[in-house]
Amino acid sequence: MASPPFPTQRMLGIDFFTGTPAEAIAYISKRGGLVIAPAAPSFIALQDDPDWGPAIANADLAIADSGWAGLFWRLIQREKITRISGLALFKALLETAQARISGNLFWILPSEKAKTKALEFAQVEGYPTTPDDCYVAPKYQRSEVRDQRSAGSAAGRGFEDLKLVSILEQRKPNHIIVGIGGGMQDKLGSYLKRSLSYRPAIYCIGAAPGFVTGDQVAIPMWADRFFVGWIFRLLTQPRTLLPRLWSARRLPGMMVKYGREMPPVRSRN
């Protein structure tokens, strides 16, 4: 990431925004760009996935969403990282007047169920969202990732979803909510930023929309604030969450070894 024009704290090569959720929304709403919210497994991906580092390098604003990363950083570096969760950021977006403008929000969702929940939530809460404002993402596979390297390309490899790009070009929403998670969202967000002819705000915030719409287990704000929202998710999605939590065991060692520097990609040999 290039040096951002706002105060940050650097952890493992990523400059994290140190303001409030409302300030983050105000900044990215005015300028557009890519927002990332790395979870603990995303930090591990810095070493394991050669495509992830270039994707985050294409980001314009990063928030420290991971409670585990914040806790480990405080214990190891004796420094408190300013945490903004994807949930808090999403709620801050919903509180803006822009969110109430028809066609301004576009949702990229992981399933038809998530789409139904988003539309039900929007209707009840008075957000002017229609089925045309939602896109159910395909199950992106490695085979769908093509080499997009070109002279001067900072983002390296990424997704190709021409259907989604076409829809966004026609509708031109100002705020694109990428809620697919699974380690794919940052690469998809980076691809959209490079592919679109205009500059919307693109929020890669994983499961956060589902916490609000009811597609995911509801997480009280007190639990989110005290870094224990993962417990609520673990109780309802143990098969999905346990492997991700297990992968986070490498995070303290990475912080000790690399500190504020970005870890290199590990050799596959």
Separation of alpha carbons 111 and 117, rounded Å: 10
218 secondary structure, DSSP code = -
Task: Say what the pLDDT of residue 160 is.
Answer: 85
Q: How far apart are CA 159 and CA 136, in angstroms?
A: 15
Any domain includes 26: no
Which residue range(s) make up the domain with 203?
32-139+153-258
Residue 240 within any structural domain of the chain: yes
User: Residue 233 above 70 pLDDT?
Assistant: no
Asked if the structure places residue 268 within a domain, the reply is: no
In a domain, 18, yes or no: no
**56 part of a folded domain:** yes
Residue 59 banded pLDDT, cuts 50, 70, 90: very high
| Among 14-18, 96-100, 223-227, the least confident range | 223-227
- Decide if 118 is inside a domain: yes
Q: What is the pTM of this model?
A: 0.83
Query: Of all helices (H) and strands (E), which one includes residue 133?
Result: none
With cut-offs at 50, 70 and 90, classify the pLDDT of residue 239: low
Indicate the number of domains in the chain. Answer: 1
Question: Does residue 147 lie within any of the structural domains?
Answer: no
pLDDT tens digits, one per residue of 110-122: 999 999 999 999 9
Q: Is the pLDDT of residue 234 over 60?
A: no
Q: Is 204 helix (H, G, I), strand (E, B) or coil?
A: strand
Q: Given pLDDT bands bounded at 50, 70 and 90, which one contains residue 145? A: very low
CA 129, CA 111: separation in Å to the nearest integer?
17
pLDDT tier for residue 146 given thresholds of 50, 70 and 90: very low
| pLDDT class of 71 with cuts at 50, 70, 90 | confident
Confirm whether 27 is domain-assigned: no
Tens of pLDDT, residues 80-99: 989 898 889 999 999 999 99
